[in-house]
Amino acid sequence: MMDWIVVIFFAALAICVLLIVITLASLPKLGDERKNFIKMKAQSYAFTIAIGLALIEIIESVYLTAWTNESYEGMNPFTFLVAISIVYLISLLFSKKKYGG
């Protein structure tokens, strides 16, 4: 059962990476300044989400270890990587549509 979950996460990650590469490859048609601006906007949104998720995990860890008898299991790296890839892809597509013309 666990093997299928890992395969699904890797497949989702591979699809996201492929779509990100295709989207980035279509950007050179634009001017260098706009291309860099679009990539920077998408990266800043993905970075903001990554920091937000990390802060939520820190708060959860402190709460579980300090105020309950439960132990903290940590963040699943596959889920985190797929989620950030999806956020980056979506923000890249929105930025391309908004600023790409």
Q: In the chain, how long is the greatest CA-to-CA distance?
A: 57
* pLDDT band with cut points at 50, 70 and 90 for residue 1: low
Residue 101 has pLDDT above 70, yes or no: no
Question: Which tens digits make up the pLDDT trace of 31-79?
Answer: 778 888 888 999 999 999 999 998 998 898 888 888 887 887 888 887 8
Give Cα separations from 53 to 26, 48, 84 (angstroms).
30, 9, 10
pLDDT at 44: 93
Tokens representing residue 72 in the block:
């903290």
Measured torsion, CA atoms of residues 57, 61, 63, 66, in degrees rounded to the nearest 10: -160
The domain segmentation of the chain, as residue ranges, is 2-99
